[in-house]
Amino acid sequence: MSNVLQLIQRLAVVAQAESRQLAGIAGLQPVHLDVLRYLARCNRYSNTPAAIGRFLRSTKGTVSQSVKVLEREKLISKLSDAKDGRVIRLRLLQRGADLLKRVDEESAIQAAVEEVASDERLPLENSLTALLRRAQRLNGSRSFGVCSTCRFFNRLEDGSFQCGITHEPLTVDDSMRICVEHENEVLNA
């Protein structure tokens, strides 16, 4: 039995317990923080309930309820899409962003991460990234990375960025955000 697996399982338990506690202080549930965090990090193609459901691996019914709560608390706002009458666009409100910031400041895990020695940081980041990518591939699930690591991400001759699916230009900020359409580069096995 791998030690790494045990450590990850333990980390998951600790993170979950901490999330329960921190969400509780704010009068919310753990899943609500997950939604807020996602909305803080996703790009403009990916701010819909359906995308949240795929990202958090839950059903649309569940997401619908979470969204309802967050809207009631004025942490996010809803806006129906102009192009497609079925889809709802969600936006993180200032109150939501503030809450997220306040919550993360209380996080012992966040504080522990900040204490990671600088020479350990990059290797740790790389190992975890690879681990997540493999886990998601084995799960047959979407990869959910940021634009700049997507196979559809184009670097144009003039140095600007473009999405290979929508052919829209992407800003530097865009390129660091999570996208539903993300697909990893195909690596040689």
Q: Would you tell me which residues interact with DNA (CB under 7 A)?
A: 17, 20, 24, 29-32, 48-51, 57-69, 78, 83-88
Q: How far is the CB of 12 from a second copy (least distance, A)?
A: 4
Helical (H) or strand (E) element with 145: none
CA distance 118 to 78: 40
CA distances from 99 to 51, 69, 73, 117 (A): 22, 15, 11, 28
**Do 129 and 145 meet the contact criterion of CB atoms below 8 Å apart?**
no
CA distance 50 to 180: 9
Positions touching a second copy (CB under 8 A) are: 2-19, 21, 34, 37, 41, 55-58, 104, 108-116, 120-121, 123-132, 134-136, 138-139
Q: How far is the CB of 88 from a second copy (least distance, A)?
A: 22
Return all residues near 48 (Cβ < 8 A) that are at least 6 apart. Answer: 81, 87, 88, 89, 90
- Name the binder of 156 from a second copy, DNA, none, CB < 5-8 A by kind: none
- Name the binder of 73 from DNA, a second copy, none, CB < 5-8 A by kind: none
Nearer to a second copy, 84 or 105 (CB): 105
Q: How far is the CB of 41 from DNA (least distance, A)?
A: 18
Q: How far is the CB of 20 from DNA (least distance, A)?
A: 5
- Name the binder of 85 from a second copy, DNA, none, CB < 5-8 A by kind: DNA
- Name the binder of 19 from a second copy, DNA, none, CB < 5-8 A by kind: a second copy
Nearer to a second copy, 30 or 154 (CB): 30
Nearer to DNA, 79 or 124 (CB): 79
CA distance 105 to 120: 22
CA distance 178 to 145: 5
CA distance 170 to 27: 37
